[in-house]
Structure 1
Amino acid sequence: MIHKNKLLLTLALCGAVLTNCRQSQPAASADTVTASNQQAENAWPEVQRENKPWTRWWWMGSAVDEQNIDKQMSQYAEAGLGGVEIAPIYGAMDHESRYIDFLSPKWMGMLDYTVQKANNLNMGVDLTQGTGWPFGGPQVKPEFAAAKLIVQTYTLKAGQTLKETLKVQEAKQQELNPQLQAVMAYSGKGETLNITDKVTADGKLNWTPKSGTWTVYAAFNGKTRQMVKRAAPGGVGYTLDHLSDKAVNAYLQPFTEAFGGSNHGVRAFYNDSYEVYGANWSPTFFEEFQKRRGYDLRLYLKDLVSKEQTERVARLKADYRETMSEMLYDNFYKTWNNWAHQHKSFTKNQSHGSPGNLLDLYAAVDIPECETFGSSYFPIPGLRRDSADVRNVDPDPIMLKFASSAAHVAGKNLTSSETFTWLGEHFKTSYSQMKPEVEQVFLSGVNHVFYHGVTYSPEDVAWPGWLFYASLNLTPANSLWSHFGAFNNYIARVQSVLQSGKADNELLMYWPIHDVWSNPKGMEMLIKVHDIDEWLHPTQFYKQSQQLMDAGYSLDFVSDKMLQEAKVNNGQIVTASGAPTRKVLIVPQSKYMSETTFERVIALAKEGATVVLEELPTDVPGLQDLENRRKKLEQLVQSLTFTDAGQGVRQFKAGKGEILLSKNVQQALELKDIERETLTDTGLKFIRREIEGGKYYYLVNHTPKAIDTTIPLNMKAQSVVIMDPQSGKAGLSKSTSTNNKTNVRVQLKSGEALILKATNAPDPGLVAWQYLEQPGAPIAVTGDWNLHFTKGGPEVPADKKLTKLVSWTELGDKKAEAFSGSGEYTITFDLPAKNAGEYVLDLGKVSESARVWVNDQEVGHLWSIPFQARVGQYLKPGKNTLKVEVANLMANRIRDMDQKKLEWRKYHEINFVNIDYKAFDASVWKPMASGLIGPVTITPYVTTAQGQAKK
C-alpha cells in the first residue's frame, strides 16, 4: 500500500458552482458560519499528498541548484501540488556551464536535496528512469540497442553459387556488427529449405540449388539506430532493446550503482510511452518464438516480411505480435518491476504505444498511466476551443480506460494520467478549458493526475523563464499561477473521493486483441493513442463499450491473460486480490478467439459466472496447430445448447452459472436484472466508488444546459450527502428511498460537477443542502468600475475608470494590450432590500480567472465556466462593494515579445515549437480577450433547504 502522509485540505469558502448550504437571510453569526464550514470539511476524506495533483518537472540540462529547488518546491507546495516527477531533458543554450550529468554524484546530490525538501513540504518525488524518452543512454551498447530484422534476398538458379558475402549492405549498420541469424531458400514450387548451416564463418554461402529457381532470404539482427529523444547531459545514447532481459539488466546497472541499494526517497520510477520505432526484433526472437508458439518462424521468414494481404500472412503476424507482447512483458516489465521493488519503490508506466497487449502491460506495473493528448469538444456555452489549437485526434475516454481497467482488474488503487499534453497552443490554455478535460479523465477511472507539466527555471533567467516545447507550462511565471491553488483544490477534493474504497464497475468487457494483431500489414504493431481510428474505433468492442457506458453501465476491460487468472465467488467474478467483484462478463463480437480463452469463458460460467456473448466465436487466431485448435473451438461451441429465454436472448445453463447469447447485449443484461444507472438519461456523466456502507457518485454536467432534476441511484440509502468539489461545501440532500432505489434532487449548471455520498449511515448531522428556486429579476451591477492593474508585465498599465466593461485589449492602451498579469476591479452598488433566500453573483465573461470579494469578505476563486457564486451571506441592504481580481493568459505578452523580436527561446534539440511542431511565432496572433468583460449581475432566488424525506 502506498504510504500517504495526511494533510487536511484548506477548503475555499465558495467556488464556481452554485452551492451554499445555509440560508443567507437573516445573516448568520460568525460562529454559525464556522460550524457550518467545519461540518462541510468533515464530510470530505482527509486530503493526502497522492490526492493532490502532481506534475512532471522538466529539468532542462539538469541545470539545477539547491537555492532554486528550494524556492520552486515551496511555490509548488503553496499552490497545492502533491509531488513532482523529475524528468531530465536537453538544456537551454548559453547555460551549459550549469549542466549536471545524469546520475553523476552531483546529480544524485540534487536528487537527495529535492527529496529532502519534498519531505519537509509533505510532497512526493517520482523519477523518470532515464532522460528524455524512451529508455536508453550511454550504457546501451550496440548489442543491447533496439533491434530490427534486416532481410536481404538473393536469386539463384540451378547450378549457381552466390558469389557475394552474406553481410548487411547498409553501411551504417556495419559499425553495429549486425549478426546473421538465418538463411532460408524458397523454390518456385513452394519448397522451403533452412540452409543456415551452409554459411561459412566468413559469410560465404556454400550451397547450390540442383534445379529450378530459388530465392534466398538472409535474416540479420540489425539495429534501429534510434537515439534517446530529448536526452539530457549524461543520457545520450541508443534506445534500449526492451525485448531482451540482458539488455534491460545492462540498462539498469548504472542505476544500481548510482542508487547504492537505496531508492533515495523516490516513490516511483517512471517510464514514458513506448515510442521505440522500427524495433521489430531481438537477438533471441527465433528461439523465443519457437518456445512460445510451438513452430519455427524461420520457415515462414518469407511470409513475415511479405506485403501480401493473405490470411496466412495475417495469422503469422498475429503469432509474431503475440510473441513480441510476451517478450516485452517478461523481459522488460518483470525485470524492471523487480528492480524497483528491490529498491523499495514503485513502477509507474505508460503502456500505450507498445507492441503488446495494453491491458496486460498496464497491469504489470504498480501505477498504470494513460495520457491525454490534444483537446476534446464539450458543448459548454462560452467554452473557447480555437480551431488553430486543435490536434487531429481528440482524447478518447475509452482509450483512457485501458489504464484504469488494468488497475481495477489487477487490484491497484491508483491510475495516473499525463494530463493536458498539447491541450492548446502555448500560453492560450485557461482553467475553463482544463476543467472538463480533467473531468473526462476522472470519468474514465483516473484518480492520480500529473500535469504535463512545469519546467525548472532559475530565478536569474528573464521572463518567461525556461519552458518545455510540448508542455502546459503552468509555472510560477504564468499569469494564471496566483489562481492555480483553487484549481488544484478542486482536483484534490475529487481525487480524495476517487481514491477512496474500490472502483464500482459491474461489467467486464473482453478485449479481442487477436482481431487487432491479425492484420497482414507491416510487422510490429505499436498500439498508439494517435492511431485509434485504425485499431480501436472501427471495432465492435469499442462500439459496444460506448453504447453500454452511454446507457449508464459501468465497465472495465479484461484480457485473455486476466480471464485465465479470474475466479468466481458466489456468482461474482474476481480477477485479483483486492480487485472489485463483477456481475457479468461480456464478450463482444470478434473474428478471432483463442480456444483456450473460450474454454476459460465456459469454465467461469460453470463456476457460477454470468457471461453474455454477442456472437459465438468462429475461428482461432494464429497458425500454430491450426486445424486441431479449430476443431477444439468447434467442439466447445457445439457443447453449448441454448434455449430461448425470450426477448431475443438465448440461454445456456452452465454448472452454477449461465451463458447468454444475444445481439442486444443490453437486453441480456436486463434479463439478468443488471440495472443501468438511468441518471445518464439526463445527460449527466458519472463514475462510482464503493466504500464501506455505501457509494460515492461523481457527477459531471457536460451538456449545454442546466440540469435540475431528481435522479435515481441504484442503491437504497438512508442518507445522501451532496458534496461540491468546486467549493468544498457539503450538505444533506433532498432524497427518498424506495424499491432499492434512492431518488436525489441535483442542480448542476453546464460545466459543473457534484459528488453524492450515498450511505446506509443515519443522518450525518450536516445542514440541509440549499436548492435554488424561482429566480427573480437579475440586478445589473453597473456604474463606475475602477480598474487597478496589480502585477504582471511587460509594463503595468495605468489605472482606469470604466463605465462599461471591455477587454483590456480594447482600452486603447498599448501597455494594456500587451499586458499579462492581474488587475483588480472595484465597484459600489446598491441593493435596495435584502429579502431573498439567496443571491447569485454572475460575472458573465471572464478572461480568464477571477477572485472575488464582497464587502471586503472573500467569496473565493471563480476560475471556470460558469463564473458564478452564491453571495447572499456577504451582501447587506444599501451600499455594497464588489472587488474582482482577474488574471489573464500569457499570450498577449508573448505576442508583444515576438513582435519586438525579443529573444526568449533558445534551447538545444527541438528548441521551441508550436502545436503543429513548426517554428513558434506569436507575432501573427491577434490579441486575446483579457479581464472582466461581464455583464455582471446578481440574481435573487427563493430557496428550499429540506432535510431527507423518508417514505
Structure 2
Amino acid sequence: MKRFFSILIITLSITISSMAQTTKSVWPVMEKQMKPWVRWWWMGSAVDEKNLIQNLTTYQKAGIGGVEITPIYGAVGYEARYIDFLSPKWMDMLRFTVNKSTSLGLGVDMNTGTGWPFGGPQIKPENAATKLITQKYNLKEGEKLNEPIKVKEAKQEVAKLQALTAYGPKGEILNLLNQVEANGNLNWSPNKGNWEIYALFAGKTRQMVKRAAPGGEGFTLDHLDKSAVNVYLKRFNDAFGNKPQGIRSFFNDSYEVYGANWTPTFFDEFKKNRGYDLRNYLRELVGDDGNKETIARVKSDYRETMNDLLLNNFTKPWTNWAHQYQSLTKNQSHGSPGNLLDLYSAVDIPETETFGSSYFPISGLRRNKEDIRNVNPDPMMSKFASSAAHTTGKKLVSSETFTWLTEHFKTSFSQCKPEAEQLFLSGVNHIFYHGTTNSPSDAVWPGWLFYASVQMNPTNSLWPQIGGLNNYIARCQSVLQAGKADNELLIYWPVYDVWNQAKGLDIALKVHDVDDWLHPTPFYKLATSLSKTGYSFDFASDHLLSQSTVANGLVKTAANASPYKVLIVPQCEMMDLNTLNKIITMANAGATVIFQELPKDVPGLNDLSVRQSQLKTALGKLAFVGLTDGIKQFKTGKGQILLASDIQKALTYKTIKREELTDSGLQFIRRAITGGKYYYVVNHTAKAIDAYLPVNESGYVLFMDPLNGTYGLAATKVEKGQLKTRFQLKSGESIILKITKAKPAVTNLWNYLQAPGTALAFTNPWSLHFSQGGPALPADQKLEKLISWTELPDEKLKSFSGTGVYTTSFNLPAKNAKEYVLSLNQVDESARVFINGQEVGILWSIPFEAKVGKFLKVGNNTIKIEVVNLMANRIRDMDIKKIKWRNYHEINFVDINYKDFDAAKWDIMPSGLLGPITITPYN
C-alpha cells in the first residue's frame, strides 16, 4: 500500500510538473520589464529608508515591475525632510532604493535631472538655453546710426552680438560686424540709397527648470551646445564618483525647452552642414515677407541644423554618457525641433506619451465630457517611437501613459484598458504609469499627489484591485516584447515637407500639435488608410534609408531588425537628392519601391539650381511603363519602382497581403518569433464579433487570454489556402494568437460559448459590508435590489471611497451546461469575485464577465463580490467641507484644464455593484 501511494505521489508530481511546464511554455517567462512601471515622483526628495521600503514593497506586491525616479517640488510643511538633489544624503537614498528594489525584483530608472527640462544650479547663464534676438535698423544715404547696437530686450545683459548684416537697395549684402566698436557704435554709413540693417544677438531664454526639486533649481540647459551638456553632466559624474549606480535607464522627458532656437556656435555649424553663410540671410531667417520660396528654403536649412545640433550635441552624447555607467537611455523625443525618427533612434528606449483620452465606441465605456481634455492621443504619433525601435532592432518601446486620461480621482481601470491597448497596437510594449507619488505613512489621506497624474497611488481606493490591470498589461507585454516586430511595409517620412515652411522659425513637433504638422499631410492620410485596411508598417527617415541595405529583395534597416517587403514613398514635394539616389540604388539591388507621386523639388538653398537639375536628371531616367489600374513600373537591376497614386492597388499587384480581419473592425499587431508568430487582436468596436476570420499565417493556432491567463487551441479551417480562425470577442475584449508550425504541447480546446440558455437571476437579498476606506466606514446594509450605494439612506455613503463587500446565495438546480458565464454588467468601478469560497478573479474591465462553471455546484451556492469605487466622492466631500488636503509648493494642484481645482461642484459618482447580475449557461 505504501508503495502504491509512493507511485501515486510520484505520478501526481510528474503530472503537476508537466502542467507547470506546459503553462510556462505557453506564456513567456515573466520578467520585470514586462510588468507596468511607474513614474515615481519624489516630492521635495523627502524620502527615508522606512517609507522607501514600505512604498517599494507595496508596488512590488501590486505587480509593478519598476520605478522611474523624478524628484520635484515638495509638500508645504515638510521642508525639514527635503533632501537636496545629488547631495551625499540624496545619493545614499538612491543607493538604498536601488538595493531594496533589486532585492524585491524591481528595476530602477532615474530622470537625469529634476522636474523638466534638464537644467539646474550648475547651469550658469553662459550654458543656459539660448535664443536669437534680432533688431532692425534703417539708414539712409550718408546717415550714421545715432544709437549703439546693443540688445534692447530687458534682462539680456549677457546677450552677445553675433551678426550685423546690411541689405542695400540693389540687392547688396554687407557684413558689418567688424564695423561695430567696443561701445556698440556702428562706424559705417551707406553711400547711397536706403539700407536695412539686421543685428542678431545670442540671448538667453531665461527659462528655469519647471517643477524643480530642492537642489535642482536653475536655468534650463542649452541642449544644442556640447560643452554646455558636458557641464551639465559633470555634476552627475561628481555625485556618482564616476561609478555605475545600478540605474537601468536614465530618462529625459518631452522636449519643452521653450523659445530655445539658437546656440552661440550656430553660424559655424550651419555653414559646415548647409554649405553657405546664414549671416547673409538674416532678413529671410527672421521674417516672412519677401520671396516666400527663399524664406522657406533658408528656414528649412535652419531647422535641419537645429536637428543636427540636438542630435549630435545632446542626444548622442547623453546616451554615450549613460553607457559609461552601464545604463541605458529612455527619451521622449517628441516636442523636439528635429527629425523625431532620428532622435528616437539615437537612444536605447524610445518613449512616446499619451495626453488626454481617446474616444472608443466600446459599449458601456464611460466618457463624461466634463472629465476629459480636448486632446485625442494619436496612434500614428506613437508609431514614431515604435518605428525608431523596430527599424534599429531595439527591443523596448515605452510610453508615459494615462497623463490626464480623465479628471483627477475619476479614472477607472476600465477606462485605462483601451488606452493601453491602443498603445500596444501602435508598437509600445513597455508602459509607464503617470504616475505614483512617494508618500510618507504619516501624510493624511489622500497622501502626497502630483498635479497631472491618474494617481496610481496606494492611497487610491481602487488600489486593492490594481493587480487586475497590472497582470493584464504584464501578460500583453510579455508577448509584445517577444521576438521581433513583424511589419511588412516601410514608409518614408518626408520631413523636409514639414520643415519647408516660410512661417515661424523653429518647429517643435509636439504631441499636442499633430493637427498642425502631421494630420494635414499625405503621409498621415496614407498611413491611417493602410492601417485601417490591414497593413502593418514602420516609418523611415532619410538617415535610416542611407544606412539600409537590400538582400533577397527585402529592405534591411539594421542587422537585428526584421526586413521589409516594400518601401513606400508617399506624396511629397521635397526630397533630398541623396535620398532619391539611395532609393533608386536600393531598387536596383532588388527592392520593391512604390512612389505615390514622384518628388517635385530638392530642399534647402545651397547650390539650388545644380541640385534641381540633378533631381530632374535622376527622375528622367525612371522610364516608367504603364501596367494596369493606374500602376506604372520601372524595372532596374534586380528590383523595380512602381508609381501609383493608389498605393493599395500597387500592393495588391505585388501580392502583398493585408490582414483581412480588420474588415470586421478588429485591430492587430504581430510579432515574429522562432517557429511562428504572435497576433495581438483587440475589439474596440461597439459590437460583439463571432466569426471565422483570415490570418496571414499558417500552422496551429493557440488562443491566449491576457485578461486571465487561460489558453486553448482555437477552432480553425482552411478555405482556398487561407487559414481562418474563429474569433469570439465582445466589445472591449482582446485575445492573443500564437501560431506555430510545430504542434503545441497544449491539448485543451479553446472554450467557445455557444447556444446560451436561460439566464439565472439573483433573487435573494444582498448583504453589503464596508471593509476599508473612508472618511468613515458606513453601517452594514441589506439590499433587496442592487443600486448605487450613494443612493442608500446612510449619508456616510455619499462621501465614502473604499471597498464594499456584497454577499448573497443562489440556487443552481442542475449543472448540465458546458460553461456558465457570470455577468456583473454595471460595476463602479472594479470587482473581485468569490464563488463558494474560491476566487474567480478581478473583473475590472468591460464587459465585466467571467467563465465560472468550474466554481459552481448543484444546489445552494454563495457569492461574494468585493467592489472598490473611485476617490472622487471622498475628495468632493473634503472640498465641500473645505478640508485642506492640497498644499504644495510651485504649481500646487490644478484640474484637467489647469484651473484651480475644486471638487465641491462635482456630482456624486455612482458607486458599487449596480448589475443586473446574471449567470448564463452555454452548451
Does TM-score exceed 0.5, indicating one fold?
yes
Aligned twin of 2:890: 909
- Indicate whether 1:268 and 2:282 are aligned: no
Aligned twin of 2:478: 496
- Indicate whether 1:481 and 2:446 are aligned: no
Relative to structure 1, the CA distance from residue 924 to residue 800 in structure 2 (aligned partners, 3 Å threshold; closer, same or farther) is same
Equivalent position to 2:453, from 471, 475, 480: 471
User: What amino acid sits opposite 2:79 in the alignment?
Assistant: E
Aligned twin of 1:218: 199
Equivalent position to 1:98, from 68, 76, 81: 81
Aligned twin of 1:17: none
Equivalent position to 1:850, from 831, 853, 862: 831
CA distance in 1, matches of 2:650, 2:329: 40
CA contact (8 A) 1:40 1:766 kept: no
User: What amino acid sits opposite 1:606 in the alignment?
Assistant: N
TM (normalized to structure 1)?
0.95
Equivalent position to 1:84, from 57, 61, 67: 67
Shift of 1:378: 0.4
- Indicate whether 1:56 and 2:42 are aligned: no
Structure 2 residue matching 1:674: 3-state secondary structure = coil
CA distance in 2, matches of 1:299, 1:288: 15
Aligned twin of 2:705: 724
User: What amino acid sits opposite 2:677 in the alignment?
Assistant: K
Deviations 1:508-555 (A, max 9, x none): 000000111111111111000111001100111000000101010000
CA distance in 2, matches of 1:327, 1:808: 59
Shift of 1:201: 2.3
Equivalent position to 2:139, from 156, 161, 164: 156
Equivalent position to 2:115, from 132, 151, 160: 132
Structure 1 residue matching 2:267: 3-state secondary structure = helix
CA contact (8 A) 1:677 1:714 kept: yes
CA distance in 2, matches of 1:32, 1:479: 41
Structure 1 residue matching 2:571: 3-state secondary structure = coil
Aligned twin of 1:891: 872
Aligned twin of 2:778: 797
CA distance in 2, matches of 1:876, 1:340: 59
Aligned twin of 2:538: 556
User: What amino acid sits opposite 2:869 in the alignment?
Assistant: N
Shift of 1:36: 6.3
Q: Percent identity?
A: 61
CA contact (8 A) 2:356 2:406 kept: yes
User: What amino acid sits opposite 2:219 in the alignment?
Assistant: Y
Shift of 1:253: 0.5
CA distance in 1, matches of 2:22, 2:687: 31
Aligned twin of 1:702: 684
CA distance in 2, matches of 1:384, 1:546: 26
CA distance in 2, matches of 1:782, 1:503: 51
Aligned twin of 1:829: 810
Aligned twin of 1:648: 630
Structure 2 residue matching 1:646: 3-state secondary structure = coil
- Indicate whether 1:123 and 2:145 are aligned: no
Shift of 1:742: 2.1
User: What amino acid sits opposite 2:713 in the alignment?
Assistant: L
Structure possessing the higher relative contact order (Cα contacts under 8 Å, 6 or more residues apart):
1
Shift of 1:647: 1.9
CA distance in 2, matches of 1:67, 1:768: 49
CA distance in 1, matches of 2:609, 2:344: 33
The residue correspondences of 1:613-692 to structure 2 (distance < 5 A) are 613-692=595-674
Deviations 1:166-193 (A, max 9, x none): 111123111xx11110111112332211
| Alignment coverage as a number of residue pairs | 911
Aligned twin of 1:23: none
User: What amino acid sits opposite 2:763 in the alignment?
Assistant: T
Equivalent position to 1:882, from 848, 860, 863: 863
Equivalent position to 1:284, from 265, 283, 295: 265
CA distance in 1, matches of 2:683, 2:15: 31
Shift of 1:570: 0.8
CA contact (8 A) 1:913 1:920 kept: yes
Structure 2: stretches of 5+ with no match in the other structure: 1-11
Aligned twin of 1:429: 411
Aligned twin of 2:7: none
Equivalent position to 1:315, from 297, 313, 319: 297
CA distance in 1, matches of 2:525, 2:897: 30
Equivalent position to 1:777, from 751, 758, 762: 758
Equivalent position to 1:575, from 535, 542, 557: 557
Structure 2 residue matching 1:788: 3-state secondary structure = strand
Aligned twin of 2:5: none
CA distance in 2, matches of 1:461, 1:263: 33
- Indicate whether 1:247 and 2:228 are aligned: yes
CA distance in 1, matches of 2:392, 2:593: 20
CA contact (8 A) 2:712 2:746 kept: no
Structure 1 residue matching 2:687: 3-state secondary structure = coil
User: What amino acid sits opposite 1:125 in the alignment?
Assistant: V
Shift of 1:37: 7.5
CA RMSD of aligned residues (A): 1.4
Shift of 1:740: 5.5
Shift of 1:156: 1.2
CA contact (8 A) 1:731 1:768 kept: yes
Aligned twin of 2:516: 534
Structure 2 residue matching 1:171: 3-state secondary structure = coil
CA contact (8 A) 1:37 1:729 kept: no
The residue correspondences of 1:181-260 to structure 2 (distance < 5 A) are 181-260=162-241
Shift of 1:341: 0.8
- Indicate whether 1:752 and 2:722 are aligned: no
Structure 1 residue matching 2:841: 3-state secondary structure = strand
- Indicate whether 1:443 and 2:429 are aligned: no
- Indicate whether 1:408 and 2:390 are aligned: yes
Shift of 1:302: 0.6
Structure 1 residue matching 2:167: 3-state secondary structure = strand
Relative to structure 1, the CA distance from residue 594 to residue 153 in structure 2 (aligned partners, 3 Å threshold; closer, same or farther) is same
Aligned twin of 1:932: 913
Aligned twin of 2:575: 593
Aligned twin of 1:518: 500
User: What amino acid sits opposite 2:75 in the alignment?
Assistant: A
Aligned twin of 1:295: 276
CA distance in 1, matches of 2:609, 2:66: 55
Relative to structure 1, the CA distance from residue 32 to residue 928 in structure 2 (aligned partners, 3 Å threshold; closer, same or farther) is farther
CA distance in 2, matches of 1:471, 1:224: 28
Aligned twin of 2:4: none
CA contact (8 A) 1:507 1:554 kept: yes
Aligned twin of 1:143: 126
CA distance in 1, matches of 2:18, 2:786: 38
CA distance in 2, matches of 1:390, 1:352: 22
Structure 1 residue matching 2:182: 3-state secondary structure = coil
Equivalent position to 1:611, from 587, 593, 596: 593
TM (normalized to structure 2)?
0.97
Deviations 1:553-606 (A, max 9, x none): 000000000010100011110001211100000000011111111111111100
Shift of 1:738: 6.0
CA contact (8 A) 1:777 1:939 kept: yes
CA distance in 2, matches of 1:427, 1:501: 38
CA distance in 1, matches of 2:652, 2:763: 56
Aligned twin of 1:420: 402
User: What amino acid sits opposite 2:644 in the alignment?
Assistant: S
Structure 1 residue matching 2:337: 3-state secondary structure = coil
CA contact (8 A) 1:41 1:729 kept: no
User: What amino acid sits opposite 1:242 in the alignment?
Assistant: H
CA distance in 2, matches of 1:819, 1:220: 60
CA distance in 1, matches of 2:629, 2:796: 70
CA contact (8 A) 2:356 2:376 kept: yes
- Indicate whether 1:733 and 2:714 are aligned: yes
Structure 2 residue matching 1:242: 3-state secondary structure = coil
Equivalent position to 2:56, from 56, 62, 73: 73
